[in-house]
Amino acid sequence: MRYYNDSKATNVDATLKALDAFSGRILVILGGKDKGSDYSELQKPLREKAILALLVGAAAEKIGKQIAGNVAVEHAGTIERAVEIASHAAQPATSSCSPRLPRASTSFRNFEHRGHVFKELVRQLEHHSANAASKR
């Protein structure tokens, strides 16, 4: 499985560009703090590209309502839980982290810090998976 850190995509337009960059089906983590955005613009690209939208943070409920019926949605709550769900649901799909990651569980200083947290969560999952596979 491949993970892409796109934590810099902090608005709907950046998320549209990120979705456009993928040719295959993906899982996407969406959420964070709402800036009054219209997430309905994500409906068509999510319908065409996403297998599952994992929603996190304060904007999760609004995003879920605005994209409902266009992609399977799961309210993950935190980035940690979203990465965990993605690791189980995505095989062998691709997971992308975008846009604003939540402030609910980890206090993020900026997009670089959010990206670092995402990458560390992925490394921990890969390490855990490798250890589990070696014990089989």
- In this predicted model, what pLDDT tens digit does every residue of 62-119 receive, in sequence order? 999 999 999 999 999 988 899 889 888 866 544 555 433 333 334 556 777 777 777 8
pTM of the model: 0.75
Residue-wise pLDDT tens digits, 20-57: 998 888 999 998 888 899 999 999 999 999 999 999 98
Give the integer Cα–Cα distance in Å for 42 and 99: 12
Task: Please name each of the domains of the chain with its CATH number.
Answer: 2-134 (3.90.190.20)
The type of residue at 11 is N
Q: Please tell me which residue, 1 or 98, carries the higher pLDDT value.
A: 1
If we measure between CA atoms, which residue out of 52, 50, 51, 97 comes closest to residue 78? 97
Confidence (pLDDT) at 135? 67
Answer whether the bond into residue 92 is a cis peptide, omega within 30°.
yes
Confidence (pLDDT) at 100? 36
The helix/strand/coil state of 18 is helix
